[in-house]
Structure 1
Amino acid sequence: MAGRLTELWRYPVKSMLGEPLPDATVDGRGVAGDRRLTVLDHDTGRVGSAKRPRRWSALLGVRATGDAPDRVRLALPDGTVLDHPDAGLDAALSRLLGREVTLTDAVPADALLDRADPDAVLAEGVDADVPVTGNPLGGVAPPGSLVDFAPVHPLTTASLDALDLPREAVPRYRPNLVVATDARGFVENDWVGRELRIGAEVVLRVLAPTGAYAVVVRAGRVAVGDRVEPT
């Protein structure tokens, strides 16, 4: 199944909304400037993650743009716009989240993020007090990465259609690459263990079918409109 790269996304701050790009460099850490910053909870030392929606869902109301970790701009739900670094940024985020946090690109090597039981969240709602586990960051990503598991997250329009999700919902799932295809069903399942060639330069290796999680085999530039082909 071949497809076409129709959307390319960068999320400068982990678990916040991001921005579409026409093209970007992809290297071992993923899309350049992607997930280079995160909020760190002063009390628990945990990394803020929308995978624990009861505590961190407000992050999804903030849009981050710019080339992280420098020159990042945050647009808060109330219309406030702040640049990083900014003396008032941590205080504004702390008020929004109801917890004292710091926006940072440096977290302890043993830092964890909270992951609520997804089945319990679906059954009981995002505000329910459900079981939570602590997970390490960047399972197969380079050291210092702030991704949950792998540095690149592709997603196909076939999976969106199978879930009956509108294209407008894409940013909330925070994929890096949206691949248009005429195939049906969850085609990413067939990519696991294979390489994914994007344009003339980039090659990924798909490790898991969550949308899809992939590591970078060959770095390079990608652009909207590039051909995407599993091999």
Structure 2
Amino acid sequence: MADTGGTVLGTIERIWRYPIKSTGGERLEEAAVDRRGLVGDRLYAVRDGDGRFGSGKNTRRFRRMPGLLRLASRYRGQGEAPELLDPDGEPVPDPTAHLRRHLGREDVELAREGAVSHFDQLPLSLLTTATLDWVRTAVPGVPVDERRFRPNLLVRTPPGTRPFVEDEWFGSAARIGEDLRVRFERSSERCVMTNEAQPGLPHSPLILRAIARAHDTRLDALATVTRPGRVRVGDPVRLIGG
């Protein structure tokens, strides 16, 4: 029988996987999670001629490539490479050729993860509805949903939960559903990607500005996976200690 102890932090509202880094993702009803994260998450990326991966920022590993968020990706079969979807949501026959036209760059290609990780930071990102609701209040008139922040798991928190409650979780462990175990480590430092346009969400600089003023540009809970398992919509997230 599954252990039902521990304080319930909330329940899984939505699950997101992003087969190609920095493109729109796919909503799932359930997913396998291993120590790398959601299986298949960000397993592919857009790589340029210098070996840097398409992102919302410029760093040693990443190159800012505006326009990637107007595209999306999804898996159609286990073990297959993902499909790349155009801004209208239609699959393209040649992902690399389409990326070169869309981005106006001839040095990019779709690449599977090798020795260098495609993740910016840690395997899993969780965001609460309490924090998401705060963002909506902070930028009235700007369409906002969780796709702005690209979490893997959106957690429905109880009424009255304060925004940025994720901060209280750091250093603690949690059980999600029956067997998945995670440890909350820290939050993500947000970049201009939160402002960028994607289908149904127009560009707005107000979002990052609001988060910077209120919370030092940090938002979500990043976690490591301590025991692989499955996550399903409706699963409780239970705090089980440090």
TM range (shorter): 0.7 to 0.9
Residue among 199, 206, 229 paired with 1:220: 229
* Kept in 1: contact 2:55–2:63 (CA 8 A): no
Q: Map of 1:37-116 to 2, 5 A cutoff? A: 37-42=44-49, 44-52=50-58, 55-66=64-75, 70-77=80-87, 80-82=90-92, 88-99=94-105, 100-107=107-114, 109=115
* Kept in 2: contact 1:9–1:19 (CA 8 A): yes
* Kept in 2: contact 1:14–1:49 (CA 8 A): yes
- Structure-2 separation of matches of 1:4 and 1:97: 38
**In the TM superposition, what is the alpha-carbon distance from 1:168 to its structure 2 partner?**
5.4
- Structure-2 separation of matches of 1:17 and 1:72: 12
- Matched-pair identity in %: 41
Q: Which amino acid aligns with 1:5?
A: I
Are residue 203 (structure 1) and residue 175 (structure 2) matched?
no
- For normalisation by structure 1, the TM-score amounts to 0.75
- For normalisation by structure 2, the TM-score amounts to 0.72
**In the TM superposition, what is the alpha-carbon distance from 1:29 to its structure 2 partner?**
0.9
For 1:136, the equivalent position in structure 2 comes to none
Q: Which amino acid aligns with 2:55?
A: S
Which stretch of structure 1 is more off in the superposition, 60-69 or 177-186?
60-69
**In the TM superposition, what is the alpha-carbon distance from 1:33 to its structure 2 partner?**
1.2
For 2:128, the equivalent position in structure 1 comes to 156
- Structure-2 separation of matches of 1:200 and 1:13: 29
- Structure-1 separation of matches of 2:143 and 2:12: 14
* Kept in 2: contact 1:40–1:46 (CA 8 A): yes
* Kept in 1: contact 2:136–2:144 (CA 8 A): no
**In the TM superposition, what is the alpha-carbon distance from 1:167 to its structure 2 partner?**
8.6
**In the TM superposition, what is the alpha-carbon distance from 1:223 to its structure 2 partner?**
0.3
Q: Which amino acid aligns with 1:212?
A: A
The CA deviation string for residues 128-180 of structure 1, in whole angstroms up to 9 with x for no partner, is xxxxxxxxxxxxxxxx5321110111110111112226895212321000000
Gaps of 5+ in 2: 1-7, 189-219
Q: Which amino acid aligns with 1:26?
A: V
For 1:10, the equivalent position in structure 2 comes to 17
**In the TM superposition, what is the alpha-carbon distance from 1:4 to its structure 2 partner?**
0.6
- Structure-2 separation of matches of 1:30 and 1:148: 13
- Structure-2 separation of matches of 1:147 and 1:93: 20
**In the TM superposition, what is the alpha-carbon distance from 1:209 to its structure 2 partner?**
2.2
Q: Which amino acid aligns with 1:105?
A: R
- Structure-1 separation of matches of 2:145 and 2:63: 20
* Kept in 2: contact 1:153–1:175 (CA 8 A): yes
For 1:192, the equivalent position in structure 2 comes to 170
Q: Which amino acid aligns with 1:50?
A: G
How many pairs were matched up? 191
Label 1:146 to 1:69 Cα distance change in 2 as closer, same or farther (>3 A).
farther
Label 1:38 to 1:194 Cα distance change in 2 as closer, same or farther (>3 A).
same
